[in-house]
Structure 1
Amino acid sequence: MTITQYNPVEVQDLLDPALRADLITFVREEYWPELTDDLGERGVDQLVAFLAATRTTDHKMTPSLRVDQFWHGFVLHTKPYADFCAGLGEFIHHVPDRGRHNPKKGRKALALTVETIRAAGFTIDPEFWPNEGAADCTQSYAGCSDSPVNK
């Protein structure tokens, strides 16, 4: 069954403040040293929107590089990640796709992902999506995706 809509506020509330803070710390330490707390909170919001939106469509979703960094941190928190996915109705697998980096396909995949997130009722933060104007995020990325069985 494909879920067609989530309440964005309720989905954001699936992550407790301590986990949100830990994800921000992880991304800051591993990938993005200049990440501020405010930008980190926004990144967690974009991650949650991305993951929830994957459950509203049957097409493959791909995160931006910045969102993927938060996803990597979340996946490492196996129990909270599994609980979050259960709250959405199904485990969302993170599937690296290293050999298929194609800028043109990456831009198209990101555009479709952003469209799907918006259609699911979430706000897109342009700082996290290159197609939306992220000034220093030039990635046209299709290197990771969700991979529910039915896709």
Structure 2
Amino acid sequence: MTIALQHPVGTTNPAALVDSQVTDRLVRRITADHPEISEPTARRIVGQAAAFVAASGRYPGQSLAPSQLVDYGWHAFILHTVDYARFCSQTVGGFVHHVPTDEGDETPGQARATRERTLAAIRAAGYTVDEELWPDLAKCTQCHAGCTDSPKNS
């Protein structure tokens, strides 16, 4: 995969992408749905979710995937559809869809390669990566049937 740099690598704090009122709403949602997550960590998650969505919109077709923690932020954002649609439009010029993978589509070593590709895309888009929030990839196989925060897995 080749990604052309449009911004200096890692120069933009992704938390600055999301309006503070929207961030507050998303943080409340994340901490309500996941009481084990502290408010400061939820704020970091919102920033990384924003960076992930922005990179996904800038590099469509690259098969990027969030970490489990970042997936919590993305799902919270998607639930606030007006805010999410506005963010996508302003940040990448169009809606970034959530397209889960089917069970069994993953091959050995693919998760590591996908993680590295995702982090490279976020950096190439000019956003700082919070490595502590990316220890793994989410197992998001079917929304409301297997996503990390679906009722089935709660």
Fold in common (TM above 0.5): yes
Is residue 91 of structure 1 aligned with residue 95 of structure 2?
yes
CA displacement at 1:120 relative to structure 2: 1.5
Residue in structure 1 matched with residue 40 of structure 2 by the alignment: 38
CA contact (8 A) 2:16 2:47 kept: no
CA contact (8 A) 1:23 1:73 kept: yes
Residue in structure 1 matched with residue 64 of structure 2 by the alignment: 61
CA distance in 2, matches of 1:27, 1:86: 23
CA displacement at 1:8 relative to structure 2: 3.1
CA displacement at 1:14 relative to structure 2: 4.4
Matched pairs, number: 133
Give the CA RMSD over aligned residues: 2.5
CA contact (8 A) 2:68 2:139 kept: no
Alignment of 1:1-151 (within 5 A): 5=6, 8=12, 12-30=15-33, 32-58=34-60, 59-87=62-90, 88-100=92-104, 102=106, 104-130=109-135, 139-141=136-138, 143=140
CA distance in 2, matches of 1:34, 1:112: 29
CA displacement at 1:56 relative to structure 2: 2.7
User: In structure 1, what residue type is equivalent to 2:134?
Assistant: W
CA displacement at 1:28 relative to structure 2: 1.5
Q: What's the TM-score once normalised by structure 1's chain length?
A: 0.75
Q: Give 5+ residue unaligned stretches, structure 2.
A: 142-154
